[in-house]
């Protein structure tokens, strides 16, 4: 999860992304946290945003590589112990 100390780095990372990647990030943040890269998730995101699937896949890869953005879209799932 993101805390308040991540807000400025999150916004900074977000504005450094190209517009298409920003759209994918915001879509995932709102509709589909933790999308699965090789699944129907990328196709659904592409259809919703009217983008090519490859564009969405590249955006998800970029988001996953950024430590702050990935925290928002790909939260670590805690397992019951």
In this prediction, residue 77 carries a pLDDT of 57
pLDDT in tens, the chain (81 residues): 677 777 888 899 999 999 999 999 999 988 867 787 777 889 999 999 999 999 999 999 999 999 889 888 887 654 444
pLDDT for 36: 77
Residue 19 vs residues 2, 22, 35, 41, 59: alpha-carbon distances, Å: 22, 5, 19, 20, 10
Predicted confidence at residue 34, as pLDDT, reads 77
Query: What pLDDT, on a 0 to 100 scale, did the predictor assign at position 13?
Result: 92
């Amino acid at each position: 999860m993101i805390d308040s100390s991540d807000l400025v780095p999150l916004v900074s990372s977000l504005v450094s992304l190209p517009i298409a990647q920003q759209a994918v990030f915001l879509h995932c943040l709102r509709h589909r946290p933790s999308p699965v890269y090789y699944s129907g998730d990328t196709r659904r995101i592409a259809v919703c945003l009217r983008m090519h699937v490859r564009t969405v896949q590249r955006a998800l890869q970029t988001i996953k590589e950024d430590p702050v953005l990935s925290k928002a879209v790909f939260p670590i799932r805690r397992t019951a112990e």
